[in-house]
Amino acid sequence: MRTLSRVGALSAVAAAAVFCAPAAAHATATAVGHGDNGTVKIHDAATGEELRKNEPHVCEFYLDAFGFDSVQKVDWHIEAWAPTAAVKGETVESGAITLDGEGHGRTEDMTLPDGHYKLFWNFEGENGSAKHKVFWSECEDEEEGGGTATPSTPASESPGEPTSEPSASPSTPAEAAPSASPSPQGGAEGDLAETGNGAPVGLLSAAAAALLGAGGYLVFRRRKA
């Protein structure tokens, strides 16, 4: 009889433990909160919501949350952070969001000046400190890496052609040009100028003067007679 009593007592204890375990687990889960198991990520604006990766170097970005409680309300803010913050802990952006039935949600796209920042993610039923993420805003680097400038070609030049063309013919110095007509005077040696048939101009002039003189003398004598 004592053996049966002991067996019955052990069975009762085991049954009580089986039935009480789910209740205890539920109470523990309620105290901790399933939302504490969620996570939030920094996503580039071009990254899909379904990708559960963190991107700590962004320009235009959004906040993406996974695994929180159904329809959980969240308040978040972003603070300027060392080493680039002029005043550490200064809030530069904030907002609120209600997650969907699966504990997922995302914010609108946003941008911040280049620098280092820290996200603080606070939600209903949280225990301990807020979820947080640090990240960098690097918009200037993306703009500089957009492409390289192509040097422009002056309108007066075409690629592959020389910038200037050689002169069609060498210029002839003015003093080297031949005279259009023979000079009436002699050269440096005192030579007399010649006509086209080779006769000296001086001799022809003297003969003409003699003829004129003789003619004049004859006319004078004739008048006097």
Domain that holds residue 26: 10-34
Residues 116 and 30 grouped into a single domain:
no
- The answer to the question of residue 18 being in a domain is yes
CA–CA distance, 84 with 82 (Å, rounded to integer)? 5
Whether 85 and 102 have beta carbons less than 8 Å apart is answered as: no
Provide the whole-model pTM.
Answer: 0.51
pLDDT at 202 over 80: no
Residue 216 or 151, more confident:
216
pLDDT of residue 11: 54
Residues 81 and 21 grouped into a single domain:
no
Residue 200 or 67, more confident:
67
- Nearest Cα to 60, choosing from 96, 99, 108, 95? 108
- The answer to the question of residue 198 being in a domain is no
Residues 58 and 18 grouped into a single domain:
no
Phi, psi of 154 (to 5 degrees): -55, 145
- The answer to the question of residue 92 being in a domain is yes
pLDDT band, residue 9 (cuts 50/70/90): low
Q: Which residues lie below 8 Å from residue 93, measured CB to CB, with a gap of 6+?
A: 77, 78, 110, 112
Q: Which residues lie below 8 Å from residue 130, measured CB to CB, with a gap of 6+?
A: 120, 121, 122, 123
Residues 45 and 55 grouped into a single domain:
yes
- The answer to the question of residue 127 being in a domain is yes
Structure tokens at 144: 């500089």
Residue 111: CATH number of its domain: 2.60.40.1930
Domain boundary among 142, 175, 194: 142
The total number of structural domains that make up the chain: 2
